[in-house]
Structure 1
Amino acid sequence: MRLPTWLAQHLAALRALLVFTVLLGLAYPLAMVVVGRIPGLAARTDGSIIEIDGRPVGSALIGQSFTDVNANPVPRYFQSRPSAAGDGYDPTATSASNLGPEDIVDTIAADPDESTRSLLTQVCARSAAIGELDGVDGRRPYCTAGGVGAVLAVFRRDGLTGPVTRAVSVNQTAPAAPFIARYDGVLVELAEPGVDYRAAGATIVAVRGDAPAEPAVPADAVTASASGLDPHISPAYARIQVDRVARERGADPARIRRLVQEHTTGRVLGFMGAPGVNVLELNLALDEQFPAR
């Protein structure tokens, strides 16, 4: 007996539902559980939790901050890279900031709580802070000495062409001083809160300044990872922190450098990615070998 077309179609759909439920809802998850219990993988599937004296102190796979209650860096520890995941390294809110290289103008509102910093200003501020903390040159191209984006809103007589008639430092407000006094012979003004200079017809111009082309503070020190959970920093970022950590712990900087080298991993399979330093593992080794004074 031939079944009606509509009934045959429904039975075929039901069979497909049952088959895929068994395959993807039961067999596949169970297979992944079995694979995860293979020796050498079990620790990773359990979260690679690191314990000290039976107390969990973090995961080797998820970064964390080494700051005090006021979110200031604790000088005796190596610092992690910034995180855009929630309030920082929140595994339930893993994400990037979604800000790109064109995000260079701050939103300055009359109410400071409604103001937002551009990616450029965030990078400038982080670089300046790290420079001060670690005693290195924190200057970067397109950053002011005060740690904001060096960006002007430039007005011209004929719109996009003609002589400059007005220039505004869009990321600076009173009582700051403009990062440059004049632009094309025109006095530079400070920005006024709540004004959209782009909408007013200005051209946005980033000013490079005299910062070195290769900043002393590496890129990973001032930008968040795509996941916001990266537990590693670059060897370059670790190197500029060595003297500070050694000074705080009363240790020989050469011995701290050797410890950094011991905790530096190479490229995956020898060619993928970049070398990295696991910050948590390095700081735990510091506490063990060079206890804080």
Structure 2
Amino acid sequence: MRMSTWIRQHVAALRALLVLTAITGIVYPLAVFAVAQLPGLKNNADGSLIEREGKTVGSSLIGQRFTDADGNVLTRYFQSRPSMAGDGYDPLSTAASNAGPESIVDSAPDSTGLLTTVCARSKAVAELEGVDGNRPFCTPGGVGAVLSVIGPRAADGEVDHPTKVVSVNEFCSVTTVPFVAEYKGVKVECAADGADYSVGRIVPIRGDAPDRSAVPPDAVTAGGSGLDPHISPEYAAIQIDRVARVRGVSAEQVRALVDEHTAGRTLGFLGEPRVNVVELNLDLDGRYPFRS
């Protein structure tokens, strides 16, 4: 190949590179940015930011925690659903727990499975809101009601004549009285820290809790992203009396505000009705300021 041909090919390639760089790296981004600034699109393009008195206080698309510096609930606010994103609602650490329905055994008092996490959250929400937080497969103390039944197994895997029964999520360092006294005639023991009871048949105990708890599912489970700004109308409803009492207004006034911030299913059939907690709490501060 002659040198002049080689040079022409490389000059053509360089021209194509410069033209495509200008189109895709400059013209196209500027065009998209310009379109995004049109009325009706600008708010979404800018991140749906919420401003109050000239300051950005949040986004309608990203949830927030409404707690103090020590993680204690600020009772004057509606509470968001749990979050696994960093320390909670960290946009730089969006994440889920990845725990599934088989996560029912705790490895230690401070290392809990999904079942105990749900039970503990339900108990805490119930105490805060003054409702019944009992759930199936949860002990009154707020841990998973799960037994390890040890002994010879029948052909179907059942242990008809256990030699030992352990409440695997109630540790002897925390309690000495398991949630149930005996199982199939054998006294139930509390679990020793660090002990492995997987040799036994793991048996969840349903108890006498109602099928549907007064504490709704979104109050005890985290969203997939950890940034969900919404809660269900059911979760908002059990918080109304507390918020109204703390702010010194009527429950009817707070309920009317919740209704204003309740959106229906998208297009009438997608998803579920939802309440935007961030926007609701900001309007609460505007209409019914908290006075300590």
**Does residue 1:140 correspond to 2:135, yes or no?**
yes
In structure 2, what is the equivalent of residue 65 of structure 1?
Answer: 65
What TM-score do you get using the length of structure 2 for normalisation? 0.87
- 1:196 aligned residue: 196
1:207–1:39 Cα change, 3 Å: same
Taking only aligned residues, the RMSD between alpha carbons, in angstroms, comes to 2.5
SS of aligned partner of 1:193:
coil
**Structure 1 residues 150 and 15 mapped into 2: Cα distance closer, same or farther (>3 Å)?**
farther
Q: 1:120 aligns with which of 112, 115, 122?
A: 115
Alignment of 1:259-274 (within 5 A): 259-274=257-272
Distance change (3 Å), C-alpha of 1:32 and 1:188: farther
- The change in CA–CA distance for 1:59 and 1:206 in structure 2 (over 3 A counts) is same
Structure-2 change in CA distance of 1:207 and 1:21 (3 Å): farther
Post-superposition offset of 1:172: 0.8
1:7 corresponds to which residue?
Answer: none
Give the 3-state SS of the residue equivalent to 2:39 in structure 1. coil
Of 149, 155, 159 in structure 2, the residue corresponding to residue 154 of structure 1 is: 149
Amino acid at match of 1:210: D
2:39 is the alignment partner of 1:39: yes
How much has 1:102 moved relative to structure 2?
A: 0.8
Which segments of 5 or more consecutive residues in structure 2 lack a partner in the other structure?
A: 2-12
Change beyond 3 A, Cα 1:21–1:156: farther
1:165 corresponds to: 163
Change (3 A) 1:21 1:122: farther
Alignment CA distance shift 1:178-1:27 (3 Å): farther
Q: Following superposition, which runs of at least 4 residues in structure 1 exceed 4 angstroms of deviation?
A: 13-31
Q: What displacement does 1:142 show?
A: 0.6
1:256 pairs with one of 254, 275, 279: 254
2:10 matched residue in structure 1: none
Other structure's SS at 1:167 match: strand
Deviations 1:220-264 (A, max 9, x none): 010010110000100000000000011101111011111100110
Q: 1:245, 1:192 → 2: CA distance?
A: 41
User: In structure 2, what is the Cα distance between the partners aligned to 1:279 and 1:192?
Assistant: 41
Query: Distance between the aligned counterparts of 2:112 and 2:18, measured in 1?
Result: 52
Length-normalised TM-score, structure 1 = 0.87
Counterparts in 2 of 1:20 and 1:178: CA distance versus 1, 3 Å: farther
- Distance in 1 (alpha carbons) for counterparts of 2:72 and 2:242: 15
What is the deviation of 1:55?
1.6
Distance 2:25 2:193 in 1: 55
**What count of residue pairs does the alignment treat as equivalent?**
278
Of the structure 1 ranges 28-37 and 130-139, higher mean CA displacement relative to structure 2 is found in: 28-37
Secondary structure of the corresponding residue to residue 270 of structure 1: coil
Q: Which amino acid aligns with 1:102?
A: E
Question: How has the CA–CA distance of structure 1 residues 226 and 27 changed in structure 2, closer, same or farther, with 3 Å as cutoff?
Answer: farther
- Separation of aligned partners in 2, 1:17 and 1:184: 78
Give yes or no for contact 2:158–2:201 (8 Å, CA) kept in 1.
no
Structure 1 unaligned spans of 5+: 2-12
Note the alpha carbon deviations across 1:128-187, whole angstroms, 9 max, x for none: 000000000011111111111111111122473441221111111124120101111111
Q: Please, which moves more after superposition, 27-36 or 171-180?
A: 27-36
Identical aligned residues as a percent: 60
